[in-house]
Structure 1
C-alpha cells in the first residue's frame, strides 16, 4: 500500500487496539529486551547506550538525561559572534534559522570540547538603528543571560569598548552569572595590546581570540569548562510549583483581557491599540481550585525580524516566556479570519515542544455565517494541530473560562505521558506487519527497536536499518495518537540509522 499520503492510511483496527490493551506486559517486556539485545550487533555510540539504559517499562519512573549546561554568546553586531559560534562547533552553521514563519532570535547548538558536551545559544537580531538602542540591547542580553549558566561577552578589540557595551556590562554584573570577556579579531600577537583596553569594562581579563583564524579559541574553551556546571542549573525541568502557562497570540486578540478575567483584577493594561503589552507579566491565578502561573506576553508582530524598537524586543521576551512555560494557550480572535500570523504563532509553539491549547476568543460575537467560515478556516489552516484541545471563550465577559482548566490539564497530562518500552515495541510490530515501509533503492528499512527517550513532549526514538520516509514517521505518530490520545501535546518521532558491526 502506498504511503505517500498519510491520509491514505485507515484507522487503527479495533482488534489491534484490543490486542495491545490486553497485552501481557511481562511478555511484551521480555520481547522488547530481546530486541534491545539484538542491537548489540549494530554500531552504537555512547549517546545511543545512554538512551537505551534510560529506557524503562515503569511509567512512573520518568528518567531525564542530565540537562546540558548552557553557554550564551552575546555582543553587538559585527563583533564576530557568528564566526566564534562556527569555530567552537567546528563547522559552518546558519546563525539565523531558515524555517519559514516566525524567526527565532536565539538559536541553540550542541557543542563539545574535551569530552564535555554543552549547549551554545547564539543571540542575534540587535538593530543598531532601533530606538532606545541601549535599553533594547540590554533587554536582548538579559533574556539570553537569564536562560544560560555562563556567558561569553564578545567585543571587537579593534573598536574597543563602546557605550552600548558598557550598558550591557551593567546588566551582566547584576545577573551574578559567570561572564567571560572575549576580545575578538586579535589575529596576531601584535594586536594583543589593543585587547588590554577592554580591562576598562570591569569584567576581568579579556581573552584575546581570532574567531576567523581560530587563534586562542582552544584556550578560551578550556576557560569556559572551568565555569560551566556539569549539569545545567537553568535548563533542567522544574517539577514542583504551579504549572506554567504562556498566553500567546497576535496583538489585540484579547490575551490581556483573558489574564485579567482569570485573575479577577485589572492586572494588565488593556487598550484597543494593538501592542500595549511590552513585557511578560507573571500572575499566579487560582482556577478550579488549582493555582496556575500565567504569563501574558507581548503580541507577536507579523515579522519579528522587521519589528522596530520596543516591539522587536517585546517579541524576544515572548519567545523567552514560551521557553519557560509548559503549556501555551494560543488565543485566536474568531471575529476575524485566521491569519498567517496566527499559524506562525502555532508553529512557534510546536517548535518549542510545549503543550498546546487553542482558545477561540470573542465567541459571543460570532454569528452563523462567520461560524461556517471559521470551521472551514480551522480545517484548512489548523489541520496539523487537530489534536489540540479547543475552548470557545469570551475573555471580556468570562464566558466558558471554566473550560480552560480541563483543556490545560488534558494537554499537560499528555505532555507528561510515558509509554512502556514493551508496549511501544508491540505497537511497532503491529504497525510494520500491517503496513511495512516501502522499498527504497532496492532496500527496505527495518525498525530494530523503539523507545521513548523522554516526556515533555513525548519523544520516541527508532533504531532503524535505513532512513524512514517522513510520511511513514507521521504514520507512526498517528497510530500513537489513535491508541494513546496525546491530546494537546506534540509527539516527536526521531530515528537513528545504524549499520551492523564489521566482523
Structure 2
C-alpha cells in the first residue's frame, strides 16, 4: 500500500479509520494486457439476397448475432463474427446479397461480398433449396470456380424430407456435393460445421479483423451523419457501404485502420434512430448492436453533422457513451459545408447543450474531403491515456486535503459533512470513491470533478465520483 491511511492510519480530518474497511481499496495494478490471439481461418458466407444467409450464420455461431428480418437486403456490409466448433475457433463473415448485374446500392453490396471472398480461406455459398439454382447462383458459381478457394454449397431451407430432392439438384452448380441444412431449425448444421473445419487450410491465408492488441474505437452517431464515409476515408477503400439513404449500415463493421503509424480497430455502427425500447424490427437489433459496440470499445468517436443544429439524437448518443464510461472524441463532420454564421451558431449550441462533455476534445473534419482526419489519432491517444490513468492514493488525498480546507463542503441539515478519505478505485473509466460523514451535494461533486481535472488532466475521459457515507461507530452499536 502506498498510503498508510489505508492500513488504519488517519483520514483527511485526522479520524482513525477501520483497517478492514480500507483494505478492499488497496491499489491494484492496471489489468494485464491480453495476449495476442493466433490467426483464425475465415469463412465467407455468400449468396443472393434473402436466401437465409444471416439465419444460417446465427445457427453456425450458436447465438443470435446477425440481424435477421423477412425483408431482402437487411445485411449490406461484410460483418465478422467469432465462431467455435469442436474446440477450433474461426471467423465467419456474413455478407450482403450478391447480384452479378447489380447497380447503385446493390452494386456496393455485391462489391463487399466479392471482397470477403477474396480475403477468405473458404467460401460457403448459400442457396434456397426450395427455389433451386437461379441464374444468379450460376453466375456466382462461375466466379467461385475461378477464385481458387475451397467452396461449400449449403442447400438452405431443407426443413423436411420432402425438400431433400431439391437439394440434390444443386450438384449442377459444379461446386461439389450440396449440404442440406435448415438455418431456421438447425437441421444438418453440425455436419456442415464438420465439413467447414475439414475445408480450412492448416495455415490461415491472413489475419482477418484480429482482436486484442489494437485499441478498439466505436464510430457512433445519428443516421446519415457520415460514419461509413469517414471509415472509408480512414481505410482508403470502400470498406462500408455508403448511400444517401439514411440507415444504410445495420450491423457493426470491424476494420483494422492504420493511423499515424499505429493500428486501430474501428467499428462502424448503425445510426441510432430511436430508443432501443421503442425501436422495432431491424432498428431494434441494430440499436442493440450499436449499444454493444460502444460497451465493447475503449474509446468512441461521436460524429456530429456540423452543418445542422444539434438534435435530440446527437445528445442521446453522447449520453450512451458517457453512461458506458468510455473515452470520447467529438468529430464535427461535414465541416466543408459550414460557413461563418453556422460556426458562430454551433459554438452557442455546444456551450448550451454539451455542458456534460466539455472535457472531450473536438476535431472539425470532413470525410468527403479528408480535412483534419489525421488529427483523430492524437486525440484518440490523449483520450485513452486519460482513460487508463490512475492517481496514487497518497497524491490524491494530499490534493484533496488542501482543496477541502480552502473549500469545505456546504452545510446540509445543520451539519457540515467531512471527507475522511479518497481513493481512485480503478481506471477505465477513472472512478473516485470518497468516504464521508455525510451526503455531498451534486453541485459540490461537480466542483470536485472540475478541480480534479484542472490538477490531473483527464482530457477525453469521463470521471466518476462515488460517495460512501460512513456512519459513526456509536450509531452502529446503538442499533445492535
Same fold (TM over 0.5): yes
**TM-fit CA distance, 1:50:** 1.9
- Shift of the 461–303 alpha-carbon distance from structure 1 to 2, 3 Å rule, reads same
* Alignment partner of 1:251 is 2:219: no
Alpha-carbon separation, structure 2, partners of 1:451 and 1:315: 36
* Alignment partner of 1:360 is 2:328: no
Other-structure match for 2:323: 351
Other-structure match for 2:463: 491
**TM-fit CA distance, 1:41:** 4.5
Alpha-carbon separation, structure 2, partners of 1:303 and 1:30: 48
Please identify runs of 4+ aligned residues in structure 1 that moved more than 6 A: 37-40, 166-169
CA deviation string 1:362-416 (max 9, x = no partner)? 1011111111111111111112211101000001111110000011000000001
Structure number with greater CO (CA < 8 Å, separation at least 6) is 1
Alpha-carbon separation, structure 1, partners of 2:211 and 2:394: 26
- Counterpart of 1:388 (choices 360, 368, 385) is 360
Residues 43 and 500 in structure 1, CA contact (< 8 A), matched pair in contact too: no
Residues 15 and 420 in structure 2, CA contact (< 8 A), matched pair in contact too: yes
Residue ranges of structure 1 left out of the alignment (5+ in a row): 1-25, 65-129, 137-142, 147-162, 175-237
* Alignment partner of 1:307 is 2:307: no
- 1:331-342 to structure 2, matched below 5 A, reads 331-342=303-314
**TM-fit CA distance, 1:343:** 0.6
**TM-fit CA distance, 1:322:** 0.6
Residues 41 and 500 in structure 1, CA contact (< 8 A), matched pair in contact too: no
* Alignment partner of 1:467 is 2:435: no
CA deviation string 1:194-230 (max 9, x = no partner)? xxxxxxxxxxxxxxxxxxxxxxxxxxxxxxxxxxxxx
Alpha-carbon separation, structure 2, partners of 1:314 and 1:300: 8
**TM-fit CA distance, 1:40:** 6.2
**TM-fit CA distance, 1:302:** 3.3
Other-structure match for 2:30: 62
Is the radius of gyration larger for structure 1 or structure 2? Answer: 2
**TM-fit CA distance, 1:500:** 2.8
Alpha-carbon separation, structure 2, partners of 1:365 and 1:276: 22
SS in 2 for 1:302: coil
- Shift of the 436–270 alpha-carbon distance from structure 1 to 2, 3 Å rule, reads same
Alpha-carbon separation, structure 2, partners of 1:169 and 1:455: 45
- Counterpart of 1:35 (choices 4, 10, 20) is 10
Alpha-carbon separation, structure 1, partners of 2:429 and 2:10: 25
Alpha-carbon separation, structure 2, partners of 1:301 and 1:321: 16
Alpha-carbon separation, structure 1, partners of 2:221 and 2:243: 15
CA deviation string 1:108-153 (max 9, x = no partner)? xxxxxxxxxxxxxxxxxxxxxx9649xx9xxxxxx9x99xxxxxxx
Other-structure match for 1:289: 261
Other-structure match for 1:427: 399
Alpha-carbon separation, structure 2, partners of 1:256 and 1:372: 27
Alpha-carbon separation, structure 1, partners of 2:362 and 2:464: 21
Residues 446 and 465 in structure 1, CA contact (< 8 A), matched pair in contact too: yes
**TM-fit CA distance, 1:435:** 1.0
SS in 1 for 2:274: coil
**TM-fit CA distance, 1:499:** 1.6
**TM-fit CA distance, 1:487:** 0.5
Residue ranges of structure 2 left out of the alignment (5+ in a row): 33-67, 75-80, 85-158, 160-181, 191-209
Residues 44 and 498 in structure 1, CA contact (< 8 A), matched pair in contact too: no
| TM-score computed with the length of structure 2 as normaliser | 0.60
CA deviation string 1:179-204 (max 9, x = no partner)? xxxxxxxxxxxxxxxxxxxxxxxxxx
**TM-fit CA distance, 1:239:** 11
- 1:441-456 to structure 2, matched below 5 A, reads 441-456=413-428
Residues 43 and 498 in structure 1, CA contact (< 8 A), matched pair in contact too: no
SS in 1 for 2:301: strand
**TM-fit CA distance, 1:360:** 0.3
Residues 217 and 298 in structure 2, CA contact (< 8 A), matched pair in contact too: yes
* Alignment partner of 1:241 is 2:247: no
* Alignment partner of 1:271 is 2:243: yes
Other-structure match for 2:378: 406
**TM-fit CA distance, 1:311:** 1.4
CA RMSD, aligned part only? 3.6
